[in-house]
């Protein structure tokens, strides 16, 4: 395997491992009634860093073990997804479907 391929493979494996602990990804499918939608992963990280007692009750997901490391990545990802989060918060159906 060539050096660039090894580097790409290592980056891909690292990305998969990081995203498994990412608060933004964890809160996307939490489906907890009343849980925050906008910047939910960033808020979960911040809550955890400030000693929040019950993240599962408030956000529907456990905080990542490395919340301080995850915080900037969650903020960037959720900034990119902000239009969708605002639409979901407002109850706007985007009419997105998959398949045939």
Residue 69 forms part of a structural domain: yes
Contact criterion met (CB below 8 Å) for 23 and 61: yes
Residue 10 forms part of a structural domain: no
**Cβ burial 38-63 (10 Å sphere, 16+ → b, else e):** ebbbbbbbbbbeeebeebeebbbbeb
Residue 86 forms part of a structural domain: yes
Residue 99 forms part of a structural domain: no
Tens digits of residue pLDDT in 79-88:
998 988 888 8
User: Could you give the number of structural domains in the chain?
Assistant: 1
Residue 98 forms part of a structural domain: no
- Lowest mean per-residue pLDDT among 4-8, 19-23, 62-66, 85-89: 19-23
Residue 85 structural domain? 17-90
Residue 2 forms part of a structural domain: no
């Amino acid at each position: 395997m060539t050096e660039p391929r090894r580097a790409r493979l290592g980056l891909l494996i690292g990305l998969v491992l990081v995203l498994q602990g990412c608060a933004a990804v964890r809160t996307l499918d939490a489906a907890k009634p009343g849980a925050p939608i906008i910047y939910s992963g960033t808020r979960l990280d911040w809550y955890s860093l400030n000693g929040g007692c019950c993240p599962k009750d408030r956000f529907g997901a456990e905080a990542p073990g490395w919340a301080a490391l995850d915080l900037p990545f969650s903020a960037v990802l959720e900034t990119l997804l902000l239009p969708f989060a605002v639409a979901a918060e407002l109850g706007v159906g985007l009419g997105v479907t998959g398949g045939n």
